[in-house]
Amino acid sequence: MRDMTQYDARWFSGQAATWDDDRRKVERARQAAKAIADEIPLDPSWTVLDYGAGTGLLAFALADRVGEIVLMDSAEGMVEVARRRIAECGRPGIRAERHDLTRAPLPAGEQFDLVISMMVLHHVEDVPLLLKRLFAATAEGGWFAALDLEPEQGEYHDADFTGHHGFSRGALRRALAGAGFGHLTVRKVLEIEKEVQGVPRKFGVFLATARKDAERPVPVG
């Protein structure tokens, strides 16, 4: 599976060292963590996978409420910065791994009580494949939470961006159900302010939550 134009793993690696300098990203992660905690009954025993974690902003914002955490990202630079943050924070039970689930699934049996992912799906070409692999990485009865852009007119990124210009609720629900998830909810939880050609604009971000229900049959194919 190829990466999307210039927003590939090398580009994200180049952004990693200064990623957390943008206080808006830190605040966004805090808001996202609150929205997740409002929706999902988090437990300190839970294992968590933050997929496309970047430097780990979202997972660190949730760290007081959950157990072991894996920060996973395809960009080596992001994983290096995440490892530095882990070493500095001194909180046990967090590790960072470089992995791209669109290239290879996790080893069978490596599953998490909660899988979270923020602003990653729109960068991934084959969203159904990724969701299927994230479903496989979710434990029976476990939870999934993704935050990403609501539909936009292609203004959020540069003109040559070939990823997804956000996701409609219908498309998202179909993709999550197709991967096997049930108990779906989708709601807008925050806005990202960004200048487009010198004009301040707001882009909506949804939180989608879902569960892997042991009693619900997993779709074939």
Ligand X SMILES: C[S@@+](CC[C@H](N)C(=O)[O-])C[C@H]1O[C@@H](n2cnc3c(N)ncnc32)[C@H](O)[C@@H]1O
Residue 113: both structure tokens together: 């009580």
Please work out the total of residues on this chain that contact ligand X, with binding judged by CB under 6 A.
Answer: 20
Quick one: which of 53, 114, 145, 175 contacts ligand X (CB under 6 A)? 53
Q: Which is nearer to ligand X, 165 or 213 (CB)?
A: 165
Q: Which of 61-69, 94-102, 178-186, 198-206 is the region at the interface with ligand X (rule: CB under 6 A)? A: 94-102
Asked if 52 interacts with ligand X (CB under 6 A), we say yes
* Residue 121 contacts ligand X per CB under 6 A: no
Q: Applying CB under 6 A, does 118 fall inside the site for ligand X? A: yes
Name every residue whose Cβ is closer than 8 Å to that of residue 196 and which is 6 or more positions away in sequence: 155
Rounded CA-CA distance 171/56 in Å is 27
- Give Cα separations from 180 to 131, 176, 218 (angstroms): 9, 7, 5
Of 49, 60, 62, 74, the one binding ligand X (CB under 6 A) is 74
Residue 106: count other Cβ atoms within 10 Å of its Cβ. 18
As a whole number of angstroms, the distance between CA 137 and CA 20 comes to: 27
Q: Is 69 helix (H, G, I), strand (E, B) or coil?
A: strand
Q: Is residue 75 a contact residue for ligand X (CB under 6 A)?
A: yes
As measured in angstroms, the least distance from the Cβ of 39 to ligand X is 17
Is 113 an interacting residue with respect to ligand X (CB under 6 A)?
A: no
Can residue 123 be called a binding residue for ligand X (CB under 6 A)?
yes
- Please choose, from the candidates 162, 72, 74, the residue with its C-alpha nearest in 3D space to the C-alpha of residue 125: 162
Among 182, 164, 173, which Cα is nearest to 119's?
164
Q: Which residue from 5, 31, 102, 185 is in contact with ligand X, where contact means CB under 6 A?
A: 102
210 touches ligand X (CB under 6 A): no
Contact residues toward ligand X (CB under 6 A) are 9, 12, 25, 52-54, 57-58, 73-75, 78, 100-102, 118-120, 123-124
